Protein backbone atom coordinates (compact mmCIF):
# COMPACT_ATOMS: atom_id res chain seq x y z
CA UNK A 1 0.00 0.00 0.00
CA UNK A 2 1.18 3.52 -0.76
CA UNK A 3 2.42 4.93 2.56
CA UNK A 4 0.51 8.14 1.80
CA UNK A 5 -2.80 6.27 1.50
CA UNK A 6 -4.66 6.19 4.81
CA UNK A 7 -6.17 2.98 6.15
CA UNK A 8 -9.58 2.24 4.67
CA UNK A 9 -11.39 2.83 7.96
CA UNK A 10 -9.87 6.30 8.31
CA UNK A 11 -10.82 7.25 4.75
CA UNK A 12 -14.39 6.04 5.24
CA UNK A 13 -14.75 7.97 8.49
CA UNK A 14 -13.30 11.12 6.96
CA UNK A 15 -15.63 10.86 3.95
CA UNK A 16 -18.69 10.52 6.19
CA UNK A 17 -17.54 13.45 8.33
CA UNK A 18 -17.06 15.65 5.25
CA UNK A 19 -20.53 14.83 3.92
CA UNK A 20 -21.94 15.56 7.37
CA UNK A 21 -20.23 18.97 7.43
CA UNK A 22 -21.51 19.79 3.92
CA UNK A 23 -25.07 18.94 5.00
CA UNK A 24 -24.68 21.27 8.00
CA UNK A 25 -23.47 24.09 5.74
CA UNK A 26 -20.02 24.10 7.36
CA UNK A 27 -18.09 23.09 4.23
CA UNK A 28 -18.43 24.17 0.59
CA UNK A 29 -19.37 21.50 -1.93
CA UNK A 30 -16.22 19.96 -3.43
CA UNK A 31 -15.88 18.59 -6.94
CA UNK A 32 -15.02 15.23 -5.36
CA UNK A 33 -13.53 13.75 -2.22
CA UNK A 34 -9.90 14.89 -1.83
CA UNK A 35 -7.20 12.32 -2.66
CA UNK A 36 -6.48 11.87 1.05
CA UNK A 37 -9.87 10.20 1.57
CA UNK A 38 -10.45 8.60 -1.82
CA UNK A 39 -12.65 5.49 -1.63
CA UNK A 40 -11.46 2.16 -3.02
CA UNK A 41 -14.62 0.31 -4.04
CA UNK A 42 -18.40 -0.05 -3.71
CA UNK A 43 -18.11 -1.56 -0.23
CA UNK A 44 -16.30 1.57 0.97
CA UNK A 45 -19.04 3.76 -0.48
CA UNK A 46 -21.77 1.73 1.19
CA UNK A 47 -19.92 1.90 4.51
CA UNK A 48 -19.76 5.70 4.20
CA UNK A 49 -23.55 5.72 3.80
CA UNK A 50 -23.96 3.73 7.00
CA UNK A 51 -21.47 5.83 8.97
CA UNK A 52 -23.17 9.04 7.86
CA UNK A 53 -26.51 7.72 9.10
CA UNK A 54 -24.91 6.94 12.46
CA UNK A 55 -23.40 10.44 12.66
CA UNK A 56 -26.77 12.00 11.84
CA UNK A 57 -28.60 9.66 14.26
CA UNK A 58 -30.92 8.64 11.44
CA UNK A 59 -32.86 5.40 11.22
CA UNK A 60 -33.54 3.73 7.87
CA UNK A 61 -37.10 4.19 6.60
CA UNK A 62 -36.55 2.92 3.08
CA UNK A 63 -34.19 2.36 0.18
CA UNK A 64 -33.44 3.94 -3.16
CA UNK A 65 -32.59 1.70 -6.13
CA UNK A 66 -30.68 3.06 -9.12
CA UNK A 67 -30.23 0.54 -11.94
CA UNK A 68 -28.43 1.31 -15.22
CA UNK A 69 -29.69 -2.03 -16.59
CA UNK A 70 -31.84 -4.97 -15.54
CA UNK A 71 -29.05 -6.91 -13.82
CA UNK A 72 -26.90 -4.38 -11.95
CA UNK A 73 -27.55 -1.43 -9.71
CA UNK A 74 -26.72 0.70 -6.70
CA UNK A 75 -28.58 1.34 -3.46
CA UNK A 76 -28.88 4.10 -0.90
CA UNK A 77 -30.73 4.19 2.42
CA UNK A 78 -33.48 6.75 2.95
CA UNK A 79 -33.85 8.27 6.41
CA UNK A 80 -37.20 7.70 8.11
CA UNK A 81 -37.33 11.39 9.05
CA UNK A 82 -37.18 12.37 5.37
CA UNK A 83 -40.23 10.33 4.32
CA UNK A 84 -42.87 13.01 3.85
CA UNK A 85 -46.62 12.53 3.34
CA UNK A 86 -48.12 14.34 0.36
CA UNK A 87 -48.79 17.20 -0.01
CA UNK A 88 -45.44 18.22 1.43
CA UNK A 89 -43.57 21.48 1.83
CA UNK A 90 -39.81 21.94 2.15
CA UNK A 91 -38.07 25.08 3.36
CA UNK A 92 -34.38 25.88 3.27
CA UNK A 93 -34.28 25.37 7.03
CA UNK A 94 -36.13 22.03 7.03
CA UNK A 95 -34.09 20.14 4.44
CA UNK A 96 -31.32 17.79 5.58
CA UNK A 97 -28.84 19.85 3.53
CA UNK A 98 -28.74 23.40 4.85
CA UNK A 99 -28.86 26.29 2.40
CA UNK A 100 -30.14 24.21 -0.51
CA UNK A 101 -31.13 26.47 -3.39
CA UNK A 102 -31.74 23.93 -6.17
CA UNK A 103 -33.90 20.85 -5.89
CA UNK A 104 -34.22 17.97 -8.33
CA UNK A 105 -37.46 16.02 -8.40
CA UNK A 106 -38.03 12.55 -9.82
CA UNK A 107 -41.50 10.95 -10.22
CA UNK A 108 -41.26 7.36 -9.00
CA UNK A 109 -43.29 4.25 -8.20
CA UNK A 110 -42.78 3.30 -4.56
CA UNK A 111 -43.50 0.00 -2.78
CA UNK A 112 -44.08 -0.54 0.93
CA UNK A 113 -43.36 -3.89 2.60
CA UNK A 114 -45.98 -5.66 4.68
CA UNK A 115 -43.51 -8.16 6.15
CA UNK A 116 -39.77 -8.63 6.60
CA UNK A 117 -37.46 -10.01 3.92
CA UNK A 118 -34.46 -11.07 6.02
CA UNK A 119 -31.02 -11.88 4.60
CA UNK A 120 -30.88 -15.32 2.98
CA UNK A 121 -28.15 -17.95 3.29
CA UNK A 122 -25.20 -17.35 0.98
CA UNK A 123 -25.83 -18.60 -2.55
CA UNK A 124 -29.62 -18.26 -2.40
CA UNK A 125 -31.85 -15.43 -3.61
CA UNK A 126 -35.40 -14.15 -3.49
CA UNK A 127 -37.68 -14.95 -6.41
CA UNK A 128 -39.72 -12.11 -7.88
CA UNK A 129 -42.96 -13.74 -6.69
CA UNK A 130 -41.70 -14.02 -3.11
CA UNK A 131 -40.75 -10.35 -3.01
CA UNK A 132 -44.12 -9.33 -4.45
CA UNK A 133 -45.93 -11.38 -1.80
CA UNK A 134 -44.17 -9.29 0.86
CA UNK A 135 -45.41 -5.98 -0.60
CA UNK A 136 -48.26 -4.36 1.28
CA UNK A 137 -48.98 -1.44 -1.05
CA UNK A 138 -47.66 0.77 -3.82
CA UNK A 139 -47.93 4.52 -4.27
CA UNK A 140 -46.87 7.55 -6.26
CA UNK A 141 -43.69 9.16 -4.99
CA UNK A 142 -41.54 12.22 -5.62
CA UNK A 143 -37.88 11.83 -4.76
CA UNK A 144 -36.17 15.09 -3.80
CA UNK A 145 -32.58 15.19 -5.04
CA UNK A 146 -29.75 17.42 -3.82
CA UNK A 147 -26.09 16.87 -4.68
CA UNK A 148 -23.47 17.39 -1.98
CA UNK A 149 -20.81 17.82 -4.71
CA UNK A 150 -20.42 20.67 -7.17
CA UNK A 151 -21.71 18.66 -10.12
CA UNK A 152 -23.35 15.25 -9.84
CA UNK A 153 -22.69 14.53 -13.52
CA UNK A 154 -18.90 14.73 -13.18
CA UNK A 155 -18.31 13.60 -9.58
CA UNK A 156 -16.81 10.09 -9.35
CA UNK A 157 -19.31 7.24 -9.06
CA UNK A 158 -18.05 6.11 -5.64
CA UNK A 159 -18.37 9.64 -4.28
CA UNK A 160 -21.93 9.97 -5.61
CA UNK A 161 -22.83 6.59 -4.14
CA UNK A 162 -21.35 7.49 -0.75
CA UNK A 163 -23.50 10.64 -0.87
CA UNK A 164 -26.65 8.52 -1.20
CA UNK A 165 -27.15 9.15 -4.93
CA UNK A 166 -28.46 12.67 -4.23
CA UNK A 167 -31.35 11.51 -2.05
CA UNK A 168 -32.65 14.33 0.14
CA UNK A 169 -36.22 13.24 0.87
CA UNK A 170 -39.10 11.17 -0.51
CA UNK A 171 -42.68 12.43 -0.76
CA UNK A 172 -45.25 9.63 -0.55
CA UNK A 173 -48.76 9.65 -1.98
CA UNK A 174 -51.67 7.63 -0.62
CA UNK A 175 -50.87 3.91 -0.34
CA UNK A 176 -52.79 1.76 -2.82
CA UNK A 177 -53.40 -1.80 -1.54
CA UNK A 178 -54.99 -2.83 -4.89
CA UNK A 179 -51.88 -2.01 -6.93
CA UNK A 180 -51.56 -5.58 -8.25
CA UNK A 181 -54.46 -4.93 -10.64
CA UNK A 182 -52.43 -2.18 -12.38
CA UNK A 183 -50.13 -2.55 -15.40
CA UNK A 184 -47.24 -0.80 -13.64
CA UNK A 185 -44.88 -0.61 -16.66
CA UNK A 186 -47.56 1.23 -18.66
CA UNK A 187 -49.14 3.64 -16.22
CA UNK A 188 -49.87 7.13 -17.50
CA UNK A 189 -47.81 9.85 -15.82
CA UNK A 190 -48.66 13.54 -15.65
CA UNK A 191 -46.32 16.16 -14.18
CA UNK A 192 -47.37 19.75 -13.49
CA UNK A 193 -45.08 22.56 -12.32
CA UNK A 194 -46.76 25.62 -10.80
CA UNK A 195 -50.04 24.31 -12.16
CA UNK A 196 -48.82 24.09 -15.75
CA UNK A 197 -48.38 20.81 -17.68
CA UNK A 198 -44.71 19.78 -17.85
CA UNK A 199 -44.98 16.15 -18.96
CA UNK A 200 -47.56 13.58 -19.99
CA UNK A 201 -46.70 10.08 -21.16
CA UNK A 202 -47.10 6.34 -20.70
CA UNK A 203 -44.53 4.23 -18.85
CA UNK A 204 -41.11 5.85 -18.80
CA UNK A 205 -39.43 3.69 -16.18
CA UNK A 206 -35.69 3.57 -17.04
CA UNK A 207 -35.63 -0.25 -17.30
CA UNK A 208 -39.28 -0.75 -18.12
CA UNK A 209 -40.61 -2.51 -15.03
CA UNK A 210 -40.43 -1.06 -11.48
CA UNK A 211 -40.69 -4.55 -9.97
CA UNK A 212 -37.19 -5.36 -11.28
CA UNK A 213 -35.48 -2.81 -8.95
CA UNK A 214 -37.70 -3.96 -6.09
CA UNK A 215 -36.59 -7.59 -6.49
CA UNK A 216 -32.99 -6.55 -7.11
CA UNK A 217 -32.96 -4.53 -3.89
CA UNK A 218 -34.08 -7.47 -1.75
CA UNK A 219 -31.28 -9.65 -3.13
CA UNK A 220 -28.62 -6.93 -3.21
CA UNK A 221 -29.16 -6.14 0.46
CA UNK A 222 -29.34 -9.83 1.36
CA UNK A 223 -25.85 -10.37 -0.07
CA UNK A 224 -24.65 -7.52 2.15
CA UNK A 225 -26.27 -9.11 5.21
CA UNK A 226 -29.06 -6.54 5.39
CA UNK A 227 -32.75 -7.39 5.43
CA UNK A 228 -35.71 -5.36 4.26
CA UNK A 229 -38.13 -4.70 7.10
CA UNK A 230 -41.88 -4.42 7.38
CA UNK A 231 -42.94 -0.81 6.81
CA UNK A 232 -39.88 0.17 4.78
CA UNK A 233 -40.40 1.68 1.34
CA UNK A 234 -38.42 1.02 -1.82
CA UNK A 235 -38.36 3.64 -4.55
CA UNK A 236 -37.55 2.26 -7.95
CA UNK A 237 -36.26 4.93 -10.35
CA UNK A 238 -37.51 8.03 -12.11
CA UNK A 239 -40.16 7.68 -14.80
CA UNK A 240 -39.37 11.15 -16.20
CA UNK A 241 -35.68 11.80 -15.50
CA UNK A 242 -34.73 14.59 -13.13
CA UNK A 243 -36.37 18.03 -13.19
CA UNK A 244 -34.67 20.94 -11.42
CA UNK A 245 -36.80 23.38 -9.45
CA UNK A 246 -36.18 26.49 -7.39
CA UNK A 247 -37.57 27.67 -4.06
CA UNK A 248 -41.10 28.98 -4.54
CA UNK A 249 -42.08 26.36 -7.10
CA UNK A 250 -44.61 23.55 -6.69
CA UNK A 251 -44.79 20.22 -8.50
CA UNK A 252 -47.56 17.64 -8.72
CA UNK A 253 -47.36 14.19 -10.25
CA UNK A 254 -50.16 11.74 -11.01
CA UNK A 255 -49.94 8.11 -12.06
CA UNK A 256 -53.12 6.73 -13.63
CA UNK A 257 -54.66 4.36 -11.09
CA UNK A 258 -51.85 4.74 -8.55
CA UNK A 259 -52.62 8.21 -7.29
CA UNK A 260 -50.72 11.46 -6.95
CA UNK A 261 -48.12 13.32 -4.88
CA UNK A 262 -47.24 16.98 -4.54
CA UNK A 263 -44.56 19.16 -3.00
CA UNK A 264 -43.94 22.89 -2.71
CA UNK A 265 -40.48 24.38 -2.17
Share of the chain above pLDDT 90, in %: 88
| pLDDT tens column, 115-167 | 999 999 999 999 999 999 999 999 999 999 999 999 998 999 999 999 999 99
Could you give the domains of the chain? 59-264 (3.90.850.10)
Q: Which residues does residue 226 pair with via DSSP β-bridges, in sequence order?
A: none
Confidence of residue 1 (pLDDT cuts 50, 70, 90): very low
- One DSSP character per residue, 108-124 reads EEEEEESS-BPPPPTT-
Q: Are strands 167-172 and 83-85 parallel, antiparallel or unpaired?
A: parallel
The reported pLDDT for the residue numbered 14 is 96
- pTM listed for this prediction: 0.94
pLDDT > 90? residue 198: yes
The reported pLDDT for the residue numbered 91 is 80
Q: Are strands 259-264 and 88-89 parallel, antiparallel or unpaired?
A: parallel
Report the alpha-carbon distance of residue 57 to residue 61 in Å, rounded: 13
pLDDT > 80? residue 71: yes
Q: What residue ranges in the chain does DSSP mark as E strands?
A: 60-66, 74-79, 83-85, 88-89, 103-113, 135-145, 167-172, 188-193, 196-202, 233-238, 243-245, 250-255, 259-264
Amino acid sequence: MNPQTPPAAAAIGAAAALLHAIRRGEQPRPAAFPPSIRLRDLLDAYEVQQQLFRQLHWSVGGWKASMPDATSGFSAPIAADTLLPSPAALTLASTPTQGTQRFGIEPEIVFRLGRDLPPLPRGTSYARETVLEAVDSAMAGIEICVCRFENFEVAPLLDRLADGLMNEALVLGTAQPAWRALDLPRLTLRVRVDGQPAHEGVGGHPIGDPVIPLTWMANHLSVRGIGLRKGEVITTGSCNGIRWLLPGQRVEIEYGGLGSAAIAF
